Amino acid sequence: MRNKLVLPAVMMVLLCVATVTQAQSSSDTVTAQDVKKETKELVATLKQYSSSQREQAIKDAEVALEKLDGRIDDLESRVDRNWDSMSEATREQARVNLKMLRKQRNELAEWYGSFKNSSESAWEQMKSGFSDAYQELSTSWEKAKAEYDDTAN
């Protein structure tokens, strides 16, 4: 069951990064669509791995986590730089989103540790949850986008 929660956690973190990033600067080179595309590609890649290819899947997940950590760091720096010019509503939204990002990233770190040490049967169980989790991502993405649009207007 814990492994089925991994993809939604990863996707929520990516979703938060993309949403806050868009809120802070529309001229950034990484867009929400880029994050969504990368997430979709990572999911497709991981779904193709069999349990015998587990080590490569773990390496790919590690690379994705490192990239995500860099984006979170960049986002926090951007928020810090723009803090004085942000409206109170935008500041509050940034606080909420950054807090959620940190929480989700901590949960993701716990999952990653479990994933690295998972059994072959757990590997197959995790893969079976990807389709449902991706549908959940799409729903969450639309909800967060609508929330951002309401806040920005």
Each residue's pLDDT tens digit, 16-74: 555 455 544 444 455 656 766 777 777 777 777 777 787 887 788 788 778 878 877 88
- The whole-number pLDDT of residue 137 equals 47
- The whole-number pLDDT of residue 129 equals 55
- The whole-number pLDDT of residue 9 equals 52
Helices 32-48, 6-24: inter-axial angle, 10-degree rounding? 160
- The whole-number pLDDT of residue 18 equals 52
Say yes or no to pLDDT of 14 above 60. Answer: no
- The whole-number pLDDT of residue 10 equals 56
Q: Per-residue pLDDT tens for 89-102?
A: 888 887 887 777 77
The Cα 26–Cα 20 span in angstroms is 11
Q: Residue 43: which residues within 8 A CB-CB, separation 6 or more?
A: 7, 130, 133, 134
Q: Give mean pLDDT, residues 127-145.
A: 50
pTM: 0.61
- The whole-number pLDDT of residue 13 equals 54
- The whole-number pLDDT of residue 88 equals 92
Token pair for residue 6?
């991994």
C-alpha distances in Å from residue 48, one per residue of 11, 52, 130:
18, 11, 11
Q: What is the mean pLDDT of the chain?
A: 67
